[in-house]
């Protein structure tokens, strides 16, 4: 769609429609002509020449001033023609993670047959939908030196992503200073789009899985036998001091040039309920408390990613507020994006309590699920259970035995998550594929190790006849 079609409102062709379009363009002009600083200096020089020629009665100076006015007049007329029959396309990802680079593709298509589009620039603006959001505006800018006739050129703008939240691209400005740079011609194109910035995510550490295992053991009242649990291989990480050499994945270590070890997790397919309490006081927020709340939301997003990537496991996310909210379902990509979008737009809550959130949880969650509470304030779980209208004495004790309480303000979650060197988006899209590939590689390594072992060699000797050494003996 060309620029003329984009900026032309869908109105009637009658007299009333033309009048309405004229009034709308007068109040909110979509095309503007702005003199540049060079153009103003150029006009000043022409004015001085005219004044000097008029005062001194020198016709040659007046002729030079008149001829010098030609480029300025050409800029006024040609600037409008240079922006005709141009089409703009903006490609924006549906989501991006906070901390990852944001890439936006701009395509400029020139539908003219003979003339090229020269020195065309685009100015965009990305603003938060919620004005109370902490994220600021971002102004992407791209420059097209030349777009040949009947051709298109695509450029990519890349920059740091804003803080989590929902953002909206406003109307896009297309402009040029061709041919002489004396006048800037701008056209505003209605091209509104939205993008969601998910919270920053990382990779859960072994400490997180140890907390889950201890909570399960406390719930059962005894230590579980490791043979009764399923140990799932879920990824690789860098080698650390104290890691067993048996965990080293040699193929990946050789490919990357550094030691990489396998990570395992004991699974019992228990439903996980993550309760988030993003509390902040109304006034006088202590320094560091807001950062602790953002860290708690990042940990919650990371737990959602790790849980939803396992097909069949249920996930429950609850959050406090004036009206507590709950989102639940089977682990899937759809549920993951719903949870991440909810965490992206989550705002601090100065009202609400955990007791109200516990009352809003499904009955199966209160009865069987493993609860993880992440808060920015001290939590007295026994008192919250007493205030709950759905927990009796026995049910409250059962709930306390399988609940993990983490205070983000006191740094209790700092060792539960580590940053990822690759992009967070690849962590979501390629996690399952890479895990399966590494698992297949590990199985192939084990088969080769068995084939190269002495027992395997002896078996081959027995099956294929005596070896050369045996013949000599």
Q: Residue 97, exposed/middle/buried by CB under 10 A (0-12, 13-18, 19+)? A: buried
Final residue before a domain boundary, out of 198, 232, 259: 198
- pLDDT for the residue 221: 52
User: Who has greater pLDDT, 396 or 282?
Assistant: 282
Q: In the structure, what pLDDT confidence band is assigned to residue 472 with cuts at 50, 70 and 90?
A: very low
Residues 218 and 366 in one domain: yes
Cα–Cα dist 249/259, whole Å: 8
Global confidence as pTM: 0.74
68 token code pair: 């010098």
- The alpha helices in 287-380, defined as continuous H runs, are 289-308, 333-344, 354-360, 363-368
Q: What is the mean pLDDT of residues 447-459?
A: 46
Whole-number pLDDT of residue 78: 80
Least confident of 22-26, 74-78, 232-236: 22-26
Average the pLDDT over 34-59 and give the result: 91
CA distances from 163 to 46, 68, 241, 248 (A): 50, 51, 35, 37
Task: Kindly state whether residues 207 and 131 are assigned to the same domain.
Answer: no
In DSSP terms, 267 is beta-bridged to 230
Q: Both 184 and 207 in a single domain?
A: no
Give the total number of structural domains in the chain.
2
Q: Helix axis angle, 431-452 relative to 454-464, nearest 10°?
A: 60
- The pLDDT of 302-310, averaged and rounded, is 86
CATH number at residue 325: 3.40.50.410
Q: Are 98 and 156 within one domain?
A: yes
- pLDDT-based confidence at residue 461 (cuts at 50, 70, 90): very low
Give me the half-sphere count of Cα atoms (radius 13 Å) on the Cβ side of residue 248: 17
Boundary-marking domain end, from 396, 419, 442: 419
Give the percent of the chain with pLDDT over 70. Answer: 75
- What average pLDDT does the segment 384-402 reach? 80
Domain containing residue 397: 203-222+267-419
Predicted confidence (pLDDT) at residue 132 exceeds the cutoff of 60: yes
Which strand (E) or helix (H) includes residue 300?
Answer: helix 289-308
Domain shared by 321 and 287, yes or no: yes
- Residue 9 lies inside a defined structural domain of this protein: no
Q: Give residue 48's pLDDT.
A: 93
Does 326 share its domain with 307?
yes
CATH number of the domain that 143 lies in? 2.60.40.10
Q: Which helix (H) or strand (E) holds 123?
A: strand 117-123
What are 252's two structure tokens? 């990946």
Do residues 216 and 364 both lie within one domain? yes
Q: Report in angstroms the alpha-carbon separations of 231 from 207, 265, 405.
A: 16, 5, 25
Asked if residue 38 is part of any domain, the answer here is no
pLDDT value, residue 246: 78
Same-domain pairing of 173 and 292: no
CB 167 within 8 A of CB 128: yes
Residue 16 has pLDDT above 90, yes or no: no
Residue range 307-362, pLDDT digits in tens: 887 767 889 999 999 899 999 998 888 899 999 999 999 999 888 889 999 999 98
pLDDT band at 210 (very low <50, low <70, confident <90, very high): confident
Same-domain status, 151 and 288: no
SS3 64: helix
Most confident range, picked from 21-35, 90-104, 130-144, 416-430:
90-104
Looking at 419, 448, 466, which one is the last position of a domain? 419
> Do residue 363 and residue 379 come from a single domain?
yes
Phi, psi (deg, nearest 5) at residue 450? -65, -40
Same domain, 325 and 207: yes
In a domain, 351, yes or no: yes
Shared-domain flag, residues 295 and 276: yes
User: Diameter of the chain by CA atoms?
Assistant: 124
């Amino acid at each position: 769609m060309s620029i003329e079609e984009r900026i032309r409102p869908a109105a009637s062709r009658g007299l009333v429609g033309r009048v309405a379009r004229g009034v709308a363009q007068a109040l909110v002009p979509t095309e503007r002509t702005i003199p540049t600083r060079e153009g103003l200096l150029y006009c000043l020089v022409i004015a001085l020449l005219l004044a000097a020629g008029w005062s001194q009665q020198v016709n040659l100076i007046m002729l030079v001033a008149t001829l010098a006015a030609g480029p300025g007049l050409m800029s006024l007329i040609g600037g409008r023609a240079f922006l005709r029959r141009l089409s703009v396309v903006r490609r924006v990802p549906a989501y991006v993670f906070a901390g990852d680079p944001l890439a936006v593709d701009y395509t400029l298509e020139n539908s003219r047959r003979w003339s090229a589009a020269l020195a065309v620039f685009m100015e965009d603006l990305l603003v938060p939908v919620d004005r109370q959001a902490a994220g600021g505006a971002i102004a992407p800018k791209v420059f097209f030196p030349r777009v040949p006739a009947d051709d298109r050129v695509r450029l990519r703008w890349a920059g740091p992503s804003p803080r989590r939240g929902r953002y909206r691209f406003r109307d896009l400005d297309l402009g040029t200073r061709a041919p002489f740079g004396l006048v800037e011609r701008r056209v505003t194109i209605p091209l509104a789009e939205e993008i969601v910035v998910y919270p920053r995510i990382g990779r859960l550490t072994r400490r997180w899985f140890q907390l889950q295992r201890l909570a399960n053991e406390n719930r059962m009242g005894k230590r579980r036998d490791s043979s009764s649990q399923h140990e799932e291989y879920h990824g690789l990480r860098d080698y650390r001091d104290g890691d067993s050499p048996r965990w080293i994945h040699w193929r990946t270590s050789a490919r990357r040039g550094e030691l990489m070890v396998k990570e395992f997790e004991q699974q019992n397919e228990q439903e996980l309920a993550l309760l988030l309490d993003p509390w902040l006081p109304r006034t006088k927020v202590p320094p560091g408390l807001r950062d602790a709340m953002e860290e708690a939301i990042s940990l919650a997003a990371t737990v959602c990613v790790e849980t939803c990537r396992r097909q069949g496991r249920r996930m429950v996310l609850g959050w406090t507020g004036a009206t507590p909210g709950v989102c639940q379902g089977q682990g899937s990509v759809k549920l993951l994006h719903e949870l991440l979008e909810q965490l992206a737009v989550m705002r601090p809550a100065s009202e609400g309590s955990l007791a109200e959130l516990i009352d809003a949880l499904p009955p199966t969650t209160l009865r069987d699920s493993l609860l993880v509470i992440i808060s920015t304030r001290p939590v007295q779980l026994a008192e919250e259970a007493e205030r709950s209208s759905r927990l009796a004495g026995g049910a409250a004790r059962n709930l306390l035995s399988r609940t993990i309480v983490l205070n983000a303000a006191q740094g209790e979650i700092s060792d539960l998550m580590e940053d990822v060197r690759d992009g967070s988006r690849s962590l979501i899209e390629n996690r399952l594929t890479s895990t399966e590939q590494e698992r297949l590689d590990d199985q192939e390594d084990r088969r080769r190790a068995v084939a190269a072992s002495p027992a395997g060699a002896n078996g081959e000797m027995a099956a294929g006849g005596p070896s050369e050494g045996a013949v000599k003996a």
